Structure 1
């Protein structure tokens, strides 16, 4: 019961962050994920370390992998752990990609100000 409430709270926080006025839209965040991954790998984005990126990658592997910590044949429990990892992964990726989009905007704005000077 407690884990279900925590997942619902995480989903609600993610929804509120994505729909906040002035915040990057959902699709903007989704499209920014590959750029963010590349920037982290090249060391051009300090907002996320390679360790956190690796942890997110493990989350993707866990969801796609047929091997689970809690087997799916245990019906609700087996599916719930996958769903919990999915919610964590979606919240983490959408939150971080939103921060990355803001970072990109600041970098572009700084470049434009440099060109004007």
Structure 2
């Protein structure tokens, strides 16, 4: 396994991501309002991050967060229901992890604080690439 793959595995295996997965399952099964609130928080955070940086990686993070949010919103509204529940849980867990200030690498650390957030978001994005491509056709 490559070094970056090992690093992502450490984040995925961390208690922080496991906690995000558990909360994600709860949100999907019991709290649609909380799910929409999560989308607002994630979009606000990524907008703030993108406005303070012109880095390509931040643009990639921005793209994924917006796409994940649109997909979850479409699912909740019933206009796009083609995804398996596990895919929705993974997306929601990535969004939860992204908004958590204290995670594998706390967000307040300069320059590196968003590295783990980016790694998780990109990891989920790559894992569900076909589903995201299909959803983008729906837009």
TM range (shorter): 0.3 to 0.5
TM-score, normalising length from structure 1?
0.42
* Larger RCO, structure (CA 8 Å, separation 6 or more): 1
Bigger Cα Rg: 1
- Point out the structure with the larger helix share: 1
TM-score, normalising length from structure 2?
0.38
